[in-house]
Structure 1
Amino acid sequence: MSRLVAFAAIQGGYKVVAEVEGELEKALQSYDASTKIGFPNTAYYLPVIYSLTGIKCETLEDLKKPMEFARGLLPPHIKGKNHLPYLGPLLDAGMAGIFAYEVKEALRILEEPDFYIPTEDPDIEAGKMWVGPADDTILRKRGVEFVDGSAPGFAAVVGAAPDAETAKLIVEDYQKKSLYIFCAAHHNGKTIIEQCLEAGMQVGWNTRIVPFGPDISSAVFALGFANRAAMAFGGVEPGDYRRMLMYNKNRIFAFVNALGDVGTEWAVAAAGCVNWGFPTLADTDIPEILPTGICTYEHVVANVPHDEICQKSVEVRGLKINITEIDIPLAFGPAFEGERVRGGDLFGQMGGGKTQCTELVKMAEMNDIEDGKVEVIGPDIGDMKEGDVLPLGILVQIAGREFQEDFEPIMERQIHHLINYIQGIMHIGQRDISWVRISKAAVEKGFTLKDIGVVLHAKFHQDFQKIVDKVQVTLYTKQEDVDKITAQAREEYKTRDARVDTMTDEDVDTFYSCSLCQSFAPSHVCTVSPERTGLCGAYNWMDCKAAFEINPTGPNQPIQKGKVLDPKLGRFEGVDEFIKVASKGAIETYNFYSMVHAPMTTCGCCECIAAMLPACNGIMTVGRDYTGDTPCGMKFTTLAGVMGGGAASPGFVGHSKFNITQKKFILGDGGLLRLVWMPKIVKDEIRERLNARGLKWALRTSLT
């Protein structure tokens, strides 16, 4: 290992620790020692310090302890030309610098509370470019993507590229690979975020280009995000530093790109990241650390060309990504799903209340369709002028030896994601209330409606090889054709809904597991029944049944429910046997319909959490999008901190929004009538189903 690397990192550690010690002393002279500090709307204090040491920093006075810890980590200075540096002192110096950077950011938030905008998207027009540390709502929403693999990792990019064009090249390359890009620091007064904006890109959590902050200290938010994910979803206890660092090395695939001159402050941050197993790749000529050890492969790699840095980073980190090019003129991938096409960018649109836009997937006989055939019947983008609207009907016909009608709605729901994955195209809604907005930039690059069909054909084949043999896509843009396909689709929707809504747990002998979140919450096992949807809201019984048919070795496995041990609480012999094995003995039993008596485990990805309110003998529930206080005295983030990681906590339970209106919702504890509070945002979302449930109850009561 180069002496220069160790020298730079250790010097950087001393410099940063001394600087932050001075800032803390100044703050203690300006504020009372009991002044509250912390990152807004999180349950993890200062997450790097808390997760690795167990130290809870809640006041200015509390910051002295981690700074003393950091000072104690600093190794001796390198002396003499024959000094033989090794990795240990470099890692210690790096960790000291990381602790100091987190304290520095806490002091910034105290002294400049409006410096960061704690939302998913920055307000560029108002000059609010930096989002700062992700709050727990964002963490849990985005954490799901790290669970299901749609976000395989993140690139922590510090500094700036030589120009905006190069910045766009690098960032879009990561987006295509579905990675998050966590951005911090500046180089010669320029940041990569400013370059992305200059290149016309949209930044924020929704596009996976996250502008944490303008200084190298802001990079600590990326490490904090990784450690919070380990605590929230992996059940890693605060203070268990070895398990925390190993968890990140083995499960959070991240790395650092240093764009620009690497000084001592950047060097100590890079050394700190090596503790997590996160390597650094630089575009400049810096000393390298090539032998393996802490990281999977090399630790520091230099002189990486900008057009190769993405692929080289993925290779060095040992990250496996399956990328298949789709023949359309625009970039494609999950990173573009959150992109918005706003008024000034809009070329044309379909649906959204301005025209009819309908989507339908239907099973077809093998000889009735032609694989790969994509037709646009009616006007296409080339026939439109800027500002025009068109009706749109998307009919996807699928034939396959293993394909069933039950799979139609599952495939249909993929249309929303797949169209959104096209850069410059926005899709909202589903079924017959869809809305497609097309940007000017997409049209300039040659986008046509046929490209939607090309994407659907390719992705249905790629993602559902077991059940799909042929895919034919027809896009209708004439009003009479769209009206016809809409009438057909509404009849199909009605039949599907009636089939699912009328099912009960008594109707079936088989439930389904969902162990998708076990990679982060090892003891969690979700069981999905017709009247107990998955607590994340993404899976109902029909979905799990279809998923098992599609992938028999996947996370959705059949469970023979067996003997009913308690019909009111919802306890089943077969379920008990299954979860005992699936949780590796951590959970021996739970009840489907109770939050008081042995409730189901919760992974942290739940849409809602219900809690007992002893003062009124009632029950409340809160969704993860609600950030305010609740009657139980805890915000959603605090509740999730208690409930996550696969815990089964009597008096609390995670559940989906849909589950609230199902007949067996907390049946063992009094049912829906026991519910006394929920936030308006949840109530509005389930309003129609809630009213329908009330009418059925009222009718039943009047008859008895």
Structure 2
Amino acid sequence: MSRLVAFAAIQGAYNIVSKAEGKFKKAMDKYGPNQPLEFPNTAYYLPVIYSILGIKVEKLADAEPVLQRCWKLLPAHIKERIYTPYLGSMLDAGMAAILAEEVVEAIRYVEDPDFYFPAEDPDLEAGKIWLGAADDAIMRKRGIEFVDGSAPGFATIVGAAPNPEIAKAIAEEYQRKSLYVFMCANQGGTTFAEQLIEAGVQIGWSTRLVPFGPDISAAVFALGFANRAAMSFGGVEPGDYRKNLLYNKNRIFAFVNALGEVNAEWAANAAGAVNWGFPTIADTDIPEILPTGVCTYEHVVSSVPYDQICAKSIEVRGLKVTITEVPVPVAYGPAFEGERVRKDDVYLECGGGKTPCVELVRIADMDKVEDGKVEVIGPDIKDVQPGSRLPLAVVVEVAGRRMQEDYEPILERQIHHLVNYAQGVMHIGQRDIAWYRIGKAAVEKGFTLEHIGKILHAKFHQDFGAIFDKCQVKIYTDEAKVKEWVPVAQKVYKERDERIEGMTDETTETYYSCILCQSFAPTHVCVVSPERTGLCGAYNWLDCKASHEINPTGPNQPVNKGECLDPKLGNWKGVNEFVEMASRGAVKSVNFYSVVYDPMTTCGCCECIAAVLPMCNGIMTVNREYMGMTPCGMKFTTLAGTIGGGLVTPGFVGHAKYNITQRKFIVGDGGIKRMVWMPKMLKEEIRERLIRRGEEVGVPNLVDMIATEEQGVTEDEILPFLQEVGHPALSMEPILG
């Protein structure tokens, strides 16, 4: 390898550590040693430091031993003119630089708490571009995408492209390949993120184009994301740096694109990234490190043309990307799912309460379906003016020997995601509350309503081809025809809901496993029954059944529940045997219906976490979106970090939002009448179902008896309210008997 690149990296690391120590001393003088030091709303302290060194940085004084460690890691400056093996020294220097920069960014949060905008997406009107460290809500939501394959990796782009047009082309190429793009550092007075804004590209977590910060030190937020993935999803213990680095090399497919002149501090960061197996691919002529070793292939590759940098980066990282080709004239991929079509950019709008809109997937006879046929009955986009509204009915007919009625709603639910993957097309809701917006830019590229049908035909075949043979799509925009379809669809919806509602755990002999999350919680085994939806909220019993039909060797396997050992708690011999096998002996018995006695294991993807409140003789639950304190003394992020690694934790259990109002929810502990607290936002979201469940259990006003943060966030605060309203939990037998 080149002596020059090692020299630059080591010199840059010395610069970074020196600056960090200077900032630290000034902060100590100004704020004192007990000044809290953190990345807001994260459970992993300063995640790179915590994962590599095992040091919990909670206050300013805790950073001092970290900086001392940085100085020890720095190697001697390179002076010899003869060949020496520089790679080890360069890696140590890079690690020192990364650790020091994390201290710098934490101090920035103290000195300028409004510098970073704490949200998923920037507020451009307020001039808030930079998002800083991802909080745990974002981490949990986005991290799962690196497990299920919907996000195969991420590119960290340092610097800026020669112009906004090239920046846009690079970003959209990565989006088409479903990669995230993390952006930091400036070049020539601008940044890659600002170039995208100038080019009219939406940035933020929702489009996978994430602007971390304007300085090179913001690269630690990308590495912090990767390290938190290892700890949260991979079961890596803090301080186990070797296992952490190997996990990232083998599981988190990331790389760096250095755009523009590379200075010594950039070189130090590139050297730091190599520790994790993340190579650097640059557009300028910098010294290369071509021999393999730490990274899968080359460590540093230079002089890559802009129209080749995406493909070259993916090749060098050893990333295998499956690109789904869909016959539409706009870019297509999961990265566009969060894109919004603003009011002024709308060419055509359908539904959303403004016009009738309905979606329906149904089985048809084989001889009645012409595979690939897409019809538009009524005016298409070319027949209307910009800003128009049309009624819409999207009717998909599928036929096949293995197709069943139970699969209809599963396919139907995919319409939301699949249509949203088209750039310039926005889809919200489903069934008869769907809302479509098609942007002017998409129409200019030739997008029509017919392309919605082409998307559904192509993707249904690609994703669900195992369960059907033919698919045709009819898109109605004629108002009279749409109004005919609305009651037809609503009748089908009602029948479906009644069909799944009518299923019970007692009358179903086969449940289904879900071990998708074992890649990050090795002992977690989710078992899904008709009355216990998967804790992530994404899978119910029918979904798992369909998934098994589609992929018989996949994560959703049939589980014969076998002999019932405890009907009250929900314990079956066959389920226990499967859980013990699937957890490799770590878990021997779980109860479906209890939070107190051997509850099911929890992974980091749960929508909610329930916990026992002994003083109130009941339970609380908190959803992922709620950021505040709860009566059990922990926020959601702390709860998830504590029990979310695939553990059986008596008194705590992860669950789905829908599960709260299923009849078997913690029935072994007394059921829904034990619910004494939940965030107001969650209660309002499920209010109608809570009312129905309250009526079923003989407490019609139960929904109004459940405390929220408005009554308090400690047991002492909410107990008087529960006593005042006469909450049924207070008169039940002790929950911890």
- Report the TM-score, using the length of structure 1 for normalisation: 0.98
TM superposition shift of 1:633: 1.2
Aligned to 2:389: 389
CA distance in 2, matches of 1:31, 1:677: 38
TM superposition shift of 1:344: 2.1
Maintained 8 Å contact 1:6/1:85 = no
| Counterpart AA for 1:297 | Y
Maintained 8 Å contact 1:380/1:448 = yes
Aligned with 1:506: secondary structure?
coil
Aligned to 1:176: 176
CA distance in 2, matches of 1:551, 1:604: 24
Aligned to 2:732: none
Aligned to 2:417: 417
| Counterpart AA for 1:101 | E
Aligned to 1:565: 565
Encode CA deviations 1:204-259: one digit per residue, 9 max, x unaligned. 00000000000000010001011111111221110111111111111111111111
| Counterpart AA for 1:546 | A
Maintained 8 Å contact 1:51/1:244 = yes
CA distance in 1, matches of 2:480, 2:38: 59
CA distance in 2, matches of 1:322, 1:403: 26
Between stretches 466-475 and 160-169, larger displacement belongs to 466-475
CA distance 1:699–1:236, shift in 2 (3 Å): closer
CA distance in 2, matches of 1:384, 1:394: 19
Encode CA deviations 1:612-632: one digit per residue, 9 max, x unaligned. 112222210000000011111
Aligned to 2:548: 548
Maintained 8 Å contact 1:314/1:320 = yes
Q: % of aligned pairs identical?
A: 67
Written as runs of structure 1 = structure 2, the 5 A alignment for 1:5-404 is: 5-404=5-404
Written as runs of structure 1 = structure 2, the 5 A alignment for 1:404-553 is: 404-553=404-553
CA distance in 1, matches of 2:529, 2:281: 48
| Counterpart AA for 1:66 | V
TM superposition shift of 1:636: 0.4
Maintained 8 Å contact 1:75/1:89 = yes
Aligned with 2:52: secondary structure?
helix
Aligned to 1:664: 664
| Counterpart AA for 1:175 | Q
CA distance in 1, matches of 2:597, 2:425: 48
CA distance in 1, matches of 2:478, 2:311: 44
Maintained 8 Å contact 2:691/2:700 = no
TM superposition shift of 1:465: 2.2
Maintained 8 Å contact 1:3/1:85 = no
| Counterpart AA for 2:66 | P
Encode CA deviations 1:519-577: one digit per residue, 9 max, x unaligned. 11111110000111100000111111111111111110000000001111111100111
CA distance in 2, matches of 1:145, 1:680: 28
| Counterpart AA for 1:336 | F
TM superposition shift of 1:325: 2.0
Aligned with 1:9: secondary structure?
helix
Between stretches 105-114 and 377-386, larger displacement belongs to 377-386
Maintained 8 Å contact 2:395/2:475 = yes
Aligned with 1:286: secondary structure?
coil
Maintained 8 Å contact 1:562/1:575 = yes
TM superposition shift of 1:86: 2.6
| Counterpart AA for 1:594 | S
RMSD (CA atoms): 1.1
CA distance in 1, matches of 2:85, 2:3: 6
CA distance in 2, matches of 1:699, 1:159: 61
| Counterpart AA for 2:328 | I
TM superposition shift of 1:318: 1.0
CA distance in 2, matches of 1:354, 1:69: 62
CA distance in 1, matches of 2:326, 2:451: 10
Encode CA deviations 1:558-612: one digit per residue, 9 max, x unaligned. 0000000111111110011101111111111111011111110111100000011
TM superposition shift of 1:449: 0.4
Encode CA deviations 1:633-688: one digit per residue, 9 max, x unaligned. 11100100001121111110000000000111111111111110001111111111
Maintained 8 Å contact 2:603/2:646 = yes
CA distance in 1, matches of 2:327, 2:539: 31
TM superposition shift of 1:22: 0.8
| Counterpart AA for 1:658 | Y
CA distance in 1, matches of 2:219, 2:230: 18
Maintained 8 Å contact 1:283/1:302 = yes
CA distance in 2, matches of 1:305, 1:585: 52
Aligned to 2:634: 634
CA distance 1:316–1:523, shift in 2 (3 Å): same
| Counterpart AA for 1:633 | G
CA distance in 2, matches of 1:21, 1:180: 32
Encode CA deviations 1:163-216: one digit per residue, 9 max, x unaligned. 001001100000001111011011111101011111110000000000000000
CA distance in 1, matches of 2:612, 2:409: 36
Maintained 8 Å contact 1:132/1:213 = yes
TM superposition shift of 1:481: 0.8
| Counterpart AA for 2:307 | D
Aligned with 2:144: secondary structure?
helix
TM superposition shift of 1:470: 1.2
CA distance in 1, matches of 2:669, 2:88: 56
| Counterpart AA for 1:386 | P
CA distance in 1, matches of 2:60, 2:666: 44
CA distance 1:604–1:125, shift in 2 (3 Å): same
Aligned with 2:619: secondary structure?
strand
CA distance in 1, matches of 2:518, 2:699: 43
Maintained 8 Å contact 2:415/2:456 = yes
TM superposition shift of 1:700: 11
| Counterpart AA for 2:554 | G
CA distance in 1, matches of 2:559, 2:700: 33
Aligned with 1:401: secondary structure?
coil
Aligned with 2:430: secondary structure?
coil
Encode CA deviations 1:323-359: one digit per residue, 9 max, x unaligned. 1322211000000000011122222200000001100
Between stretches 104-113 and 377-386, larger displacement belongs to 377-386
CA distance in 1, matches of 2:675, 2:28: 47
Between stretches 67-76 and 319-328, larger displacement belongs to 319-328
Aligned to 2:603: 603
| Counterpart AA for 1:211 | P
Maintained 8 Å contact 2:548/2:556 = yes
Maintained 8 Å contact 1:2/1:85 = no
TM superposition shift of 1:699: 8.5
Give unpaired runs (5+ residues) of structure 1.
none
Aligned with 2:417: secondary structure?
helix
Aligned with 1:22: secondary structure?
helix
CA distance in 1, matches of 2:693, 2:670: 15
Aligned with 2:647: secondary structure?
coil
Between stretches 395-404 and 274-283, larger displacement belongs to 395-404
Maintained 8 Å contact 1:563/1:574 = yes
Maintained 8 Å contact 1:280/1:299 = yes
CA distance in 2, matches of 1:41, 1:235: 20
TM superposition shift of 1:698: 2.3
Aligned to 2:693: 693
Give unpaired runs (5+ residues) of structure 2.
702-737
Maintained 8 Å contact 2:391/2:477 = yes
CA distance in 2, matches of 1:630, 1:425: 39
Maintained 8 Å contact 2:694/2:700 = no
CA distance in 1, matches of 2:699, 2:678: 24
TM superposition shift of 1:365: 1.5
Maintained 8 Å contact 1:231/1:645 = no
TM superposition shift of 1:418: 0.5
| Counterpart AA for 2:422 | I
